[in-house]
Chain A
Amino acid sequence: MKQLLSWMALLALLVALPASAATVTVEVPPDNDGLNLNVVWDEATDPLGWAVLRADGASGEDWTVLKMLPGNARKLSDKVTTNVWEHPPQDTYRYQVVAMRSLVLVDEMEEADRTAAVLAAGTASAIATGSPSAAWIRTGIGAKQYGPLVMLLIILAVGVMMWKFANDVRAGKPVFIRRIPGIDAIEEGIGRATEMGQPILYVPGIDELQDIQTIASMLILGQVAEKVAEYQADIIVSCCIPMVREVADEVVKAGFYQAGFPDAYNPRNTRFISSEQFAFCAGTNGIIYREKPATNIYLGRFFAESLILAETGFVNKSIQIAGTAEATQLPFFIAACDYTLIGEELFAVGAYMSRDPRLVSSLKASDWVKLFVVISLLLGTVLTTLGFPIVNNLFAISGG
């Protein structure tokens, strides 16, 4: 009954006969993926409703009703296929827009009957054809929103600058890196744990391995593990994601090997706790209470568990170093931990600890892009205030 009423609402009887859509055009959206077409039509008066029909191929006559739209609609974005493996897109599609003039109850009908009923109850437009041609590069030029192009240029610029600065550093040119107390504290924390004869707890966040913060955390873990091995201490890695545990295990093993103490590596200290957020949190808290690590290092992506972990570590009187780019969790870490790496500092740890010229070069490249962003922000603010949104368009990204 509800379905009947909904169709009745859409296709109620028209009092006056409407004209068919005056002009129907099929447009290819900018930066198209080859699966989308926009059907646009024009008509001065609103009919009761519109039905958009599509036939596959340049001369296809097998019409299907794509969508029923209200009378004030003038555009339909059509995704020509949702399964490219079984139904790859055709070269050409034909469209008709039907201005509905009488009630049609099509809900229970077969596709062919539905099309016939819609055509009988409305006035069809001329047939318009379109080819969903695909773009090979997303520039944003078509939509006058150049964000993707600027983003590509920034990535390329970072790559080029990394190469140039790495050569500079190798040639002996000094590079200044500001002191980051949180990173200095990592080595102090390892030393403290060694003196106290207690382990170090490392938590690489709770997100999947493909998250960039987890990746950064894994890179840092390698260097932390190497230092731990040099100090002959123990490290417990508590993981929320099984895949992260597997990688963390390899990384810790590599750290111990590189430090020259492969025998000291204990695979049972890299633990999968649970993939459930709070079960993981409870398990890690258990490690803090029972094994009493002297130093807790939380680096990666954290959510609501951040404060529960950090407060438990505080009660346990551990030295705590945290780092995340998750802005909502930073206040909790700052309140409960001794040192906190804020945002970009998390991504600088590897370069800071190793001082490898190639890694340091990436910090310098990031700083130059940061300067570019700051200048763009200032310039954009001034120009937009004056009514010239040039910089806004430069960084804008369209939804398509």
Chain B
Amino acid sequence: MRSTIPLVLTFLVGIFMVGEYFIPHWRYHQWTAVLLEWGLILAAAAFLLGLFNLVQVNLPKVMNKEEDWGYKLVMLVSLVGTLVVGFMGNTDRLSDGQAYKWLFDFVFVPLNATMFALLAFYIASAAFRAFRARNLEATVLLVAAIIVMIARVPMGEDLPLIGEKLPQFMNWIMDVPNIAARRAIFIGAALGAVATGLRVILGIERSHLGAD
């Protein structure tokens, strides 16, 4: 019974939502919109569970002074601090001069930018490994990458003999082999998604239903 009811619900709701694409009638969309709204409410409620989980995982480590407990303490203090400051400002909290806006502008945004900036270094180290010409495929990758990289920078066009042709060749690489491979991936993935969706809706896949 514990798995039958979710299976029936999955089937009914799944078929109903698939119908949204094929049935244009406004009365149908009126009800699919309601279901989507319920989904949003559930997702919002799940944030509360996420908050409990953060505390449940991190607080005992701080209390028991486990390894790296200081990081957990910083996280918990930030969590509570942001929550309190967020409630304090009411609807004005995103206005200039408000504490919540200050936290966003001068703590959150720089931290986010720092993490994103790290990507440049990670790309360099990953590219170094990926572009080693170990075999034929890696060599083709290396050559294609060099052409695209040189053609994308201003000095590429100034190179003698090949400078004029380089951007055209780069465009061909990007528009023909690159797009062809991407479309193949998209088509395969879309068919895989259809099959996965049907498996879930028809109740063939059940591992997501949890323990009996």
Contacts and interface: CB of A to CB of B under 8 A. Distances in A.
A230 interface: no
Interface residues of A, number: 91
B30 to A, nearest CB: 5
B27 A134 contact: yes
Contact of A33 (B24, B47, B197): B24
Interface string A239-277: 001110111001101111110001000001011100110
Contacts of B21: 138, 148, 151
A29 B202 CA distance: 34
A281 B199 contact: no
Contacts of B56: 268
A131 interface: no
A347 B211 contact: no
Interface in B95-142: 108, 111-112, 115-116, 118-119, 122-123, 125-127, 129-130
B209 interface: yes
Q: Is the interface of A mostly helix, strand, loop or mixed?
A: helix
B175 interface: no
Contact of A359 (B50, B199, B212): B199
Interface stretch (A44-52, A70-78, A328-336): A328-336
Which of the listed residues B42, B108, B125, B126 has the most CB atoms from chain A within 10 Å of its own CB?
B126
B208 A158 contact: no
Interface in B163-212: 182, 185-189, 191-200, 202, 204-205, 207-212
Size category of the B interface is 35 or more
Given A135-B25, A159-B198, A370 B205 contact: no
B185 A245 contact: no
Contacts, number: 224
A240 B116 CA distance: 17
Contacts of A85: 30
A366 B193 CA distance: 10
B39 interface: yes
Contact of B208 (A222, A334, A369): A222
B208 A218 contact: yes
Contact of A290 (B48, B68, B118, B182): B68
Contacts of B27: 34, 84, 134
A363 B191 CA distance: 9
A221 B130 CA distance: 29
Interface stretch (A55-63, A99-107, A338-346): A338-346
A148 B129 CA distance: 45
Contacts of A308: 115, 118-119, 122
B8 interface: no
B84 interface: no
B125 A242 contact: no
A350 interface: yes
Nearest to A336: B126
Given A208-B43, A212-B196, A307-B123, A347 B189 contact: yes
Contacts of A253: 210-211
Contacts of B122: 307-308, 311, 336
Interface string A145-163: 0001001101100110010
A256 B210 CA distance: 10
Nearest to A258: B211
A34 B202 contact: no
Interface string A294-320: 000000000010011011001000000
B189 A219 contact: no
Contacts of B205: 219, 350, 359
B192 A346 contact: yes
Interface string A131-148: 000111110000000001
A177 B49 CA distance: 41
The 5 closest A-B pairs by CB, nearest first: A222-B207, A347-B192, A242-B50, A250-B210, A344-B188
30 contacts: A89-B26, A138-B22, A138-B24, A148-B21, A152-B22, A162-B195, A162-B202, A218-B208, A241-B43, A241-B46, A242-B47, A250-B209, A251-B208, A262-B211, A271-B57, A272-B49, A272-B54, A275-B50, A276-B108, A327-B185, A327-B186, A331-B130, A335-B129, A344-B188, A346-B192, A347-B192, A350-B205, A362-B199, A366-B191, A366-B192
Interface of B: 18, 21-27, 29-30, 39, 42-43, 46-50, 53-54, 56-57, 67-68, 71, 108, 111-112, 115-116, 118-119, 122-123, 125-127, 129-130, 182, 185-189, 191-200, 202, 204-205, 207-212
